[in-house]
Structure formats: structure tokens, C-alpha cells
Structure 1
Amino acid sequence: MTASQPAYFRQLSATTFVATESTGGAWNPDEQHIAPAIGLLAHLLEQDHVGRGGELRMASLACDILGVLPIGEFTVEVSVIRPGRTIELVEAVLTAGGRVGVRARAWMLQTADTTGLSGTAFPDMPPLDSTPEYPFGTTWNGECVNTVMARRDCLGTGRARSWIRTDTQLIEGVAVSNQARLIGMLDFANGLVPRVNPLEIGFPNIDLNVSFFRAPAGDWLGLDTTVSFGPDSVGLTESVVHDENGPVGTLSQTLTIRA
């Protein structure tokens, strides 16, 4: 671990935060990697819901990445789009330098005991201990990837199964849920399975969409990932998301491919 800061963010007020050097991006180390920012938005959406007395669970999160985020101060505003006792839609908007950088919407759903119906046909991940270590920080630029420990089983070009974790706090001195912390690592999926050399071809994602049929738990995030490039500069990274107990949901990222 070579993170220069103990956390990705410091909180200055209820709506104001500052990104530390640990968020340094993979495409440009002077800009934030989007992964921690998405985790922060998930945390703030959860906290707003709990603060209003809600007991629903975040079942999906849809993020539009509207621009690059400078490393520095920014604000987040949370609002309720569709209130409800069993279904609720909430939104968090991150603004930096006077412009909106990320807009995230989450569906919060009522929970009940459906243990007798639970199950999935998604295949299991390889065991964590038998998955080879992967030098994630040597593949990309930026400080953020250096905060991540990775194991990867490469199955071919654009296809791999990976385990990742981080010991870097999301917000300095603030406890966050397992789900928000793991959401803060989801955006690394695209970088774990590059189809081409990222120093020669760019393929940043312009969105991130995740749905959970089970709330994730534990320290390690598993990603069974396939990256596809189309013939007209558009790509797609799709992952089945796992925790150490098995599959928990699916993730998609739309890519813009740029020489």
C-alpha cells in the first residue's frame, strides 16, 4: 500500500468535501479517479435515507459521469425524487468548480424475508486464496490504483475474474457501510481487464450502473468481467459482482474508445 493519505476524502461540512491525493486518477493523475467518488455518493444517499427514518435498502445505483473531477474541494447535494414507504428514488449531485461532475440516482426498496426463494444461476468466482496476485498499480498511472490490492485470473483478452480490496478509508474518520465501501471500488472493473494498452488507447467509461439482488458484505469485492469493443468507438464493460459469499449483482459501464 502506497497511499499518500489515510482516506480518499475529508469532510469539511454537511455538503462539502475535499479529495486527497489518494484519489489521483488512472487516465490523468491530476484528476480524481471516479471510483471513490461513486462510493462517497452511495454513502451520502444511504445516510440521507437513514436520517429521514427510512429502512429501505439500496437495490440499484445509476451514475452519469458528466466530466472530470479536479483533486480538491467539491459539494454534494442529495434530494428525494420519488418518496415512498416501500420504494424510493433518491439522487446525489456532485459539483466541482461550478459544474456538475457526477449525477447518481438510487432506487431504495423494501426488504422482507424471501430466503426460501433465494438463488442465482451466476457462476461462482475462483477462491480468493488460489487467485494469483495482480500488480494493478503497475498497469495504470495515478495514486488511486496504488491503494488497491488485487488478485486476478485472466481468461483471455478482455476477460478476467478479479478480487480487489482497499484499506484506505472512504472518508477520513467516518464509518461507512460495507455496501458503500464496496461500491467505491466498482469502477476499477474497467481497468482490471484492459483489451489494449491504456497508454496507447483510451477507453474511459461515461456511466456506471449496478444492481444488487443481495446486499454485499466483507472486505473483498469480486468482479467476473468481460470487456467488449465495438467497431465504431463504443465499448462495454460488464461484470457479475461478488462478495466472499457469492454473487450479489451485476455492473455495466459504457465506454468511449479514443486513440
Structure 2
Amino acid sequence: MNASAPVVNSYFERIDEHRYKPTAHVGGAWNTEEQHFSPLGGLITHAIDRHQAERPGAGMVMSRISFDILGRLALDECEVRVETVRPGRTIELVEATVLIAGRPVVRARAWFLAVLDTSAVAGGGAERLTPPDELAPWSMASVWPGGYIASLDARPLAPPQPGRATTWVSTGVELVAGERAGGVASFIALVDTANGIAVRQPPTAWMFPNVDLTIHLHRLPEGRWAGLDTTVVFGPTGQGITSTVLHDVAGPVGHAQQILTVRPLGD
């Protein structure tokens, strides 16, 4: 696949019920011949949404999803398999596995909780961010290569600092060609970008890819923008953490955490 010449305006094209072909828009930042995890995370969520829609007792919402990245995300056809591992009327646990060339490369688990009216006691989140339409665009391609980064509209609230940035991101690229993705899947397709907006060290000298992503939501996100209020910490023994307060234009919606493997480039 030629990762420099996108031919469709989507991250994936459906092959059949479970298989998808990534487009060049999915090209990674650490390696442009691999998939950036952000759109793949959205695809997994989209597959889980489709699985849930086919089950009886709709009315629960995704409240947590965790992804473990098990291996190389080649820019090749992928298969997404979903199963319910803990069914219930008010709480369900769903698991998804992504396979490339027959090998598991990602496992995800999502908790769904029943919808109740708790508006009378809602509160406690962070302050709303300055809306994206009041901010100037920033070219993330000045820091990172790859088709995914090139597909983004990024708007920081202030110039990013080492280990600290607050940035809105959105995209005009469909998740799956010809399919309408839900709001949560479209939002999650942007969240893994957080590890690239507040770099502590130049990615030309240091590697700090994440091996997981865990997202907790206290409210379902709405709209096309994901606000990433991100802090990155490197420890002294090769580990790091990217922590993000997640926003939509109406305010905070949850939190994301990523564990990083930190090492000098070339190791």
C-alpha cells in the first residue's frame, strides 16, 4: 500500500462483516507503514456499537473502554471479532479482538452501564475549554509524519509545551467508508492523538509509544471535536504516562490514560 497517496476519504473500507482494509489516512506517526492506533480504536468501538445494536435490551451506554496493543499494527487488512463476556440488564462487559494476518494485535474490553436520570446530582468536572472556532489551527505534521496526523484539524489553546498541551482535534475523514459511525466511536477515533500533542522529547531522538489506552466516560461526547487536556510524565526507568482530561464543546466528558515505553531512538 502506498501510504502517501490516499484514494478515499475514510480511514477504513469494509471488506465483509468482520474484515476491514485500512487506507493511507491510517498511516502511523512512529512508522508510516503501520497503523496509527487512533482510528483503529475508533473502528473497534464502531464494531462494538454494531454488536450491541443487534442485542436485545438496548439502553446501556459505554462507560469505559480499555485497549491493550499486543503487537505490530501492520497497514494491512484487519479482522475485528466482538463477543459479550458478561451479559446483563443493567451492566454488560464486551470484548473485541483485532487480528492481522491471523494474529491478535489488539484486545479491548468495554463496560456498558444502564442509562438513568442523574441530572439532579451531576457535577464535579473540569471547566469548559475555549471553543475551537476561536482558535487558530496548528500543523501537527511539523512534529509527526503519517497519513493519520495529516488528516487532522488541530487547534491548541496555547503553544504546546514539553509534557503539557491542551488541544482540540477533529477530522473530516469518515471512519468507515459509506457507514455512519456513532458519536462515541468518532470521538474515540481521535483520543490516541493525545500522546502526540505534548511531547516531552523530540520524537526524532526518543521513542515513547503507548502500549495501552484506557478511556472512562462520565458523559457521552457529542459533536465532531475532541478536546485533549494532556499531561505527559516520563519516569526514570523507561516508563511514562500520558494523562488526558477529555472534553467536547459542552465541557468535560471523561479521562484517558496511556502507559508509554520510553527509550532512545535506535534502542
**Which of 3, 24, 29 is the aligned partner of 1:26?**
29
Q: 1:212 aligns with which of 212, 217, 235?
A: 217
Corresponding pairs, count: 258
Q: Distance in 2 between matches of 1:210 and 1:231?
A: 25
User: In structure 1, what residue type is equivalent to 2:259?
Assistant: T
Secondary structure of residue in 2 paired with 1:239: strand
Residues 227, 238 of structure 1: 8 Å contact kept: yes
Paired residues of 1:3 and 1:146 also in contact (CA < 8 A) = no
CA contact (8 A) 2:10 2:174 kept: yes
User: Partners in 2 of 1:9 and 1:158 — Cα distance?
Assistant: 31
Structure 1 residue 112: deviation in Å? 1.1
- The alpha-carbon distance between structure 1 residues 4 and 194, as it changes in their structure 2 partners (threshold 3 A), is farther
Using the size of structure 1 for normalisation, the TM-score is 0.96
Question: Aligned partner of 1:12: which letter?
Answer: I
1:56 aligns with: 60
Distance of aligned partners of 1:144 and 1:156 in 2 relative to their CA distance in 1, 3 Å threshold: closer
Cα deviation for residue 31 of structure 1 reads 0.5
CA contact (8 A) 1:3 1:144 kept: no
Residue 3 of structure 1: CA displacement? 5.1
Where in structure 2 are there 5+ consecutive unaligned residues? none
3-state SS in 2 of match to 1:103: strand
Cα distance in 2 for residues equivalent to 1:179 and 1:227: 24
Question: Residue type matched to 1:104 in 2?
Answer: A
Question: Are positions 1:188 and 2:193 aligned together?
Answer: yes
Structure 1 match to 2:38:
35
- After TM superposition, the structure 1 = structure 2 runs for residues 1-259 of structure 1, keeping only pairs within 5 Å, are 4-53=7-56, 54-152=58-156, 153-154=158-159, 156-259=161-264
Counting aligned pairs with the same residue, the percent is 39
Query: How far off its partner does 1:61 sit?
Result: 0.3
**Shift in Å, 1:138:** 2.0
**Structure 2-normalised TM-score?**
0.94
* Cα contact 1:3–1:168 (8 A) shared by 2: no
3-state DSSP of counterpart to 1:45: helix
Task: State the Cα distance separating 1:155 from its structure 2 match.
Answer: 5.9
Give the aligned residue type for 1:49: Q
Mapped to 1, the partners of 2:18 and 2:133 lie a distance apart of 40
2: CA distance between counterparts of 1:156 and 1:139?
A: 13
Q: CA deviation at 1:71?
A: 1.1
Q: What amino acid maps onto 1:184 in structure 2?
A: A
User: Aligned letter for 2:74?
Assistant: P
What is the CA-CA distance between 1:32 and the residue it aligns to?
A: 0.5
CA positional deviation for 1:70? 1.1
In 1, Cα distance between the equivalents of 2:259 and 2:44?
19
Gaps of 5+ in 1: none
Let me know the Cα RMSD of the aligned residues. Answer: 1.3
Paired letter, 2:172: D
The answer to whether the 8 A contact 1:45-1:90 is kept is: yes
